[in-house]
Amino acid sequence: MTRYVFMFDEHPNPSKEILGGKGYGLAVMSKIGLPVPYGFTITTETCKYGKDLPEDVVKQIDEHLIKLEKSSGKKFGDPENPLLVSVRSGAAVSMPGMMDTVLNLGLNDDTRAGLAKKTNNPRFAADSYRRFMQMFGNVVMEIEHDKFEKELNTIKNKHGKKLDTDLTTEELDEVIVAYRALIQKERGEFPTDPKKQLRMAIDAVFSSWMNPRAIAYRKLNDIRGLIGTAVNVQMMVFGNTGETSGTGVGFTRNPSTGENVAYGEYLLNAQGEDVVAGIRTPHPISVMEKELPDTYKQLMDVFHKLEEHFKDMQDLEFTVEEGKLFMLQCRSGKRTAAAAVRIAVEMVKEGLITKEDAIMRIEPNSVTQLLFPQLDAEDKKKFEVLAKGLPASPGAAIGKLAFTAEEVKERVSAGEKDVLLCREETCPDDIEGMNLAKGIVTARGGMTSHAAVVARGMGKCCVCGCGDLHIDAATKTISVGSKKFGPSDFFTLDGSTGQVYAGKVQVKDAEVSGNFETILNWANEFKRLGVRTNAETERDAKKAREFGAEGIGLARTEHMFFQGTRIRAVREMILSENVQGREVALAKLLPLQKGDFKDLFTVNEGLPVNIRLLDPPLHEFLPQTPAEMEEMSKEMGVSVEKIKVLCTNMHETNPMLGFRGCRLGVVYPEISRMQVRAIMEAACEVVESRADFNFKGVEIMIPVLAHMEEMKMLRELAVGVANKVLEEHKLTIERVPYTVGVMMELPRACIRADDIAQYADFFSFGTNDLTQTTLGYSRDDAGKFIPLYLEKGIYEKDPFQVLDQNGVGELIKMSVTKGRTTKPNLKCGICGEHGGEPSSVEFCHRVGLNYVSCSPFRVPVARIAAAQAAI
Ligand code: PEP
Ligand code: MG
């Protein structure tokens, strides 16, 4: 026979899954000898029956009620010595939105009189009765809370009383009469039979599991796989019997900072929700040491025992009855990322947990909170959310609205500090403006859109795909519904939630503490995967190294093309009609690229640097505006008309599948030759700059490759140029190691990985493009339909954010196996955005990649995720 009901100390293997979080805490606390009022838990398995509990379950509840009566020496419904209980819900995960708590259940006119007589405290009995009617009426009979409060306030006002503790027994009687009338009017007779009350409360808890609020909460918080809530029926203890009684909530450590001090609040002569209801101001726990010194000692002893047992910070509820402490709940306490890190590190030092435990306690994504300035949570509450987009790059940004990258540049150089770049979507041309802006918001684009990728790389707050914003660059207005905003208005962006506010929300500085560094260093002790970064500027590379990046996994060379006047040389190269013309332009670019590469090598001394050859379709760099065309015509000495024609000729219908990646190098080998030369000259020059310069090696990477022949051709080109440069500098490959490898971004490359590996020294999976090409979803447009796909359950997570392990992942697995059949030690990494996403990092560990590479601000996330994968 299935057991559906267990006394708190009966279950042989208590678990949250079966007993719910609350039931589990009560079971454990009972087992380790803490003062827990006795009771029983009806399991989560029972929840599936809702209101229609089978006979069998009802029988088990009755039997356990008898056990409770026996152990307490009281009887349910007995006017002489009544047993009163609380009925509380509790799923495996705590879940606002469900029915929560009914206290003092079992009271009616007779048992109330009995309670008054037995305790010799008629006021307490009256207070308990009115509380019970209010809670039962509200949560079980579903009458609005406000209606009860209104009755209570009318009577308080009538007698000139401010607090409910000021009400006399007689006045409380008036409240009871008023409540009874209210219930009668709204729902009919108030049930007086305690057994009926109990059954109604249990039914209400089980059915609240499927109420719309609870369902919405589960969906919003991605809570899946739970079978239901449990119900806990527990003997009442009373915090409302007078000034030596009370109720409180506590944390064994400070949940906000992690400091190892008892934290919490309590109220004397109070029950249940009073502490959080805000009617009376509760006292901090520290005051209890003076007010109730003995109880305080008991409480501190409990705090200690709980941490000893759970080896984690606990959040608990307690009641004090006539100076005696009772525990009503405990669970692992919610905490900020800063607190999580501090608690984990300190618990290792206290000998409570191991380093491995400490690492497993940290939610990898949460640590980005420690790297960016944050919005002040309290101040945020004062603002209404204007619109919501994708949380593309975390942090907070506040500024006035600018509508083009040019405008940002102009306003910043004119002395304005806080400007946000607001764009329909960004393009490579916007880089400088993005860099100067405090934050970026776009109306279109997904998590791997240009704005998102670049912003993350820069560590800049970005909200993208914010469809509710109608951004009109021509009139410099943003409209949201009937509201309109212009260049002098402020917006606040929350890059961690995707929320956009009108106005200025206050920000708080990021907290990076020594504990954070400690935990990251521990992560390095366990992880097997290397963690590199995607960066091309000196600033980003430095930042990433500070965060512990072990080299560069991807430098997108074209990102450097927009700095200053370089774009002119790039345009000249593209618009040249023959090799000679292109070579003239390329000669101008070479020293500039070389300078960039030298910076990268210098910042990454002792670490490997991967540099990718030019990738995007060339027309992305073309002049767009008449002024730019004019400029090019002067620069190159050809007519504006001619420039226009050249630009039109370069138009592509589907550029992401067009003339890009290695195809550029195949068709215009002089471009690749210039880039390889710039890389190798930079390498030789840094090596020559200091005899002891520790040059770890450069990896030259060929992007968007499909065919072995492409690889063969471009490898020959790269090796030819590289060896020539080494010869010119009289340096050996041992001193200036270089390799040539492939960026795996197309299914064909994965399918033919064994062939390609013959000519590749390494594979790096570009999973942004590999996802795009495997799924056939444009990465720049998928934002339009992915949310719907998620809603319909076709994908669980956006495949551009979380690696599609069954699809794209299979291709990666196959490529690694095939590649290593050809070359057993083939180095394999990932440099798509997934390289900084914890579940994808775990996958990379599992399939045997050598490293992951991600944007600088995700490096710490990846380090923790990589360590967790290895533990
Ligand atoms: C990729 O495709 O995964 C990649 C890293 O390259 P990009 O995002 O520059 O196309
Ligand atoms: Mg790519």
DSSP H helices in 729-766: 747-751, 753-756
Q: Is the pLDDT of residue 357 over 60?
A: yes
Write out the catalytic residue numbers: 450, 831
- Asked whether the predicted pLDDT for residue 717 surpasses 80, the reply is yes
Q: How far is the CA of 774 from the centre of ligand 1 (A)?
A: 14
Instruction: State the pTM of this model.
Output: 0.81
| Average pLDDT of every residue of the chain | 92
**Pocket lining: 556 vs ligand 1, CB cutoff 6 Å:** yes
The rounded radius of gyration (Å) of the Cα atoms in the chain is 33
CA distance 168 to 126: 9
CATH homologous superfamily of 5-236 equals ATP-grasp fold, A domain (3.30.1490.20)
Q: Which atom of ligand 1 is nearest to the CA of 745?
A: 2
Confidence at residue 96, expressed as pLDDT on a 0 to 100 scale: 64
Nearest ligand by distance to the CA of 768: 1
Of the candidate ranges 75-84, 320-329, 452-461, the one whose mean pLDDT is the lowest: 452-461
Cα(657) to ligand 2 centroid in Å equals 11
Quick one: pLDDT at residue 511? 55
Report which of 84, 78, 82, 2 is spatially closest to residue 39, judged by C-alpha positions. 84
- For residue 769, which atom of ligand 1 is closest to its CA? 2
Look-up: residue for tokens 């409302």? 240
Ligand 1 binding pocket mutation candidate from 532, 536, 552, 615 (most atoms within 8 A of CB): 615
pLDDT digits (tens, 9 = 90+) for 119-155: 899 999 999 999 999 999 998 999 998 899 999 999 9
Of 98-107, 453-462, 524-533, 685-694, the least confident: 453-462
Nearest CA to ligand 1 atom 10: 769
At position 274, the amino acid (one-letter code) is: D
| Model pLDDT, residue 783 | 87
What DSSP string runs through 488-534? T-EEEEETTTTEEEES---EE-----HHHHHHHHHHHHH--SEEEEE
Give the type of residue at 376.
Answer: D
Strands (E), 92-184: 101-105
How far is Cα 40 from Cα 64, in angstroms, rounded to an integer? 7
User: Percent of the chain scored above 70 by pLDDT?
Assistant: 97
Q: What confidence tier does 211 reach under pLDDT thresholds 50, 70, 90?
A: confident
Task: Give the tens place of pLDDT for each residue, 463-522.
Answer: 988 989 999 999 999 999 999 999 999 999 998 789 999 999 998 755 556 899 999 999
- Residue 509 has a pLDDT of 59
Closest atom of ligand 1 relative to the 765 alpha carbon: 3
Q: What is the pLDDT of residue 432?
A: 83
Look at residue 504 in the predicted model and tell me its pLDDT.
95
Tell me if 633 CB under 6 Å of ligand 1: no
Judge if the beta carbon of residue 229 lies within 6 A of ligand 1: no
Q: Which CATH superfamily is domain 237-362 in?
A: ATP-grasp fold, B domain (3.30.470.20)
pLDDT tens-digit readout, 757-810: 999 999 999 999 999 999 999 998 998 899 999 989 899 999 999 999 999 999
Confidence of residue 224 (pLDDT cuts 50, 70, 90): confident
Classify each residue of 221-237 as buried b or exposed e, where b means 16 or more C-beta atoms within 10 Å of its C-beta: eeeeebbbbbbbbbbbb
CA 783, 789, 792, 795 torsion-angle sign:
negative
What is the Cα–Cα distance from 240 to 238, expressed in whole angstroms?
A: 5
Beta strands in 687-754 (DSSP E): 698-702, 738-744
**853 C-beta closer than 6 A to ligand 1:** no
pLDDT at 97 (0 to 100) = 64
- The string of pLDDT tens digits covering residues 162-174 is 888 889 999 999 9
Q: Supply the pLDDT for residue 513.
A: 62
Give the CATH architecture of domain 374-508: 3-Layer(bba) Sandwich (3.50)
Q: Tens digits of per-residue pLDDT, 247-304?
A: 998 999 987 778 999 988 888 988 876 665 545 667 888 899 999 999 999 999 999 9
User: What does the alpha-carbon distance between residue 502 and residue 171 come to, in Å, rounded to a whole number?
Assistant: 48
Our answer on whether the CB atom of 769 is closer than 6 Å to any ligand 1 atom is: yes
pLDDT at 588: 93
Average pLDDT over residues 359-369: 91
Could you report the per-residue pLDDT of 225-237, keeping only the tens digit for each?
A: 899 999 999 999 9
Position 461 pLDDT exceeds 80:
yes
Could you tell me the distance, in angstroms and rounded to a whole number, from the CA of residue 816 to the centre of ligand 2?
A: 18
Q: DSSP letters of 179-241?
A: HHHHHHHHHSPPP--HHHHHHHHHHHHHHHTTSHHHHHHHHHTT--S---EEEEEEE---S-S
Residue identified by tokens 């859109």 is 449
Q: Is the CB of 127 under 6 A from ligand 1?
A: no
Is the C-beta atom of 852 inside 6 A of ligand 1? no
In this prediction, residue 512 carries a pLDDT of 56
Query: Could you check whether 237-362 and 374-508 share the same CATH topology?
Result: no
**Best mutation site among 449, 656, 743 for ligand 1 pocket (most ligand atoms within 8 Å of CB):** 743
Domain boundary assignment for the chain:
5-236, 237-362, 374-508
Q: What is the pLDDT of residue 393?
A: 78
